[in-house]
Structure 1
Amino acid sequence: MDSEINNIKMEFYSLLSKLLSSEAEEERFGKVQSVLFEYLHSFTLNMTKISFKEMVDLKALCFCFPKPPLIYPKTQEEAVELWQSGATISIQALEKRSYFFNEVCKKVAENLVYEVTCSMYISKPDGISFSYHVDEWEGLALQVVGEKVFKIKDDNGNIADYILKPSNWLRISPEDVHLAETNEYSVHLNFALHRKFKLS
């Protein structure tokens, strides 16, 4: 059993390393095979069970609005109000909150020689989130629960829709002008490769 789990872990690290690296430049959208997704799924759901109070105390919880982009609640009550308003939750730096995500980000970072981080986004149906924007990192969105639509705008203003269902992934480069929408409860992870921070 331990050998089987270890093989799954190594395969998962290898997949993330490939998808976040230049090797996957031609691959925009895909699906994680079921055995790898099941391995990830339970760890992700455990993180969604952490209380607002604990996340506020850890300064790990923020909420996404079009403007300003991020609001960090100072109390549990403020966090509840923001969630009730429809704002999307972002739990940042999962690699600092969970042994599992720490191991994942550490192994992928070692493979790619750059810092790798992970955040979780939790949205209500028709929830509020960022307006069109670009990120400073190379990202990999991985859908865990529900469905989310990522809209990516090209230089001519044309918009491509990518519908992510559980186990789907989407590469988002620093050049991609994008936003995300959801019509149902949704949880997705974002793995980020930070080329500004090369490992020594």
Structure 2
Amino acid sequence: MREAEKLASPAPGPSALETRLAARLAELRVQRGWSLDELARRSEISRSTLSRLERGEISPTAALLGRLCTVYERPMSRLLAEVEAEPPQVVRAGTQAVWRDEQSGFERRSVSPPHPALRGEIVEGILRPGADIAYDAPPVAGLEQHIWVLEGTLEVTVDGHLHEVGAGDCLRFRLWGGSRFRCPGPGPVRYALLVVLP
């Protein structure tokens, strides 16, 4: 069993967003004509875990969802935007979609009004001290990212190169390989992530 799979946890009761996400994951697989076995082969996630994800019995971790986004060739932000209602032009702070991965210590807020047809978006990320999330590959090769740290320190590894980004600093890169986000502490890190599709 892969490490990302181990981090999938039983859902205490799915939210409306989680229910729509589970349905969208199943829909993406069916649209491609893949069986659960085929998706398991492509994603290196067990068939039983995939089945439970699609039925909404467990919530995906950031790493697990990242692996599925890679297989489906879409950024996580776009996948989450696809399960939102009709996208508004303004999203007030109190209604922005927030997704939490309690086990890895990651909180992700969709700041930009969601729209699957747009190429750029802003996401707020918060990692608690010691949080360490690795992605095997980008969801879309050549994805442009800008990371602006608002509070704390973030260690970002891009294609094997480690960057320490402090408060006020901004890192820009195009992603072709693996990436890793780590909060070395002592406090949490809060950052703005700007994502631009190639």
TM-score, normalization by structure 1: 0.45
Indicate the structure whose relative CO is greater, using CA pairs within 8 Å and at least 6 residues apart.
Answer: 1
Q: Tell me the TM-score normalised to structure 2 length.
A: 0.45
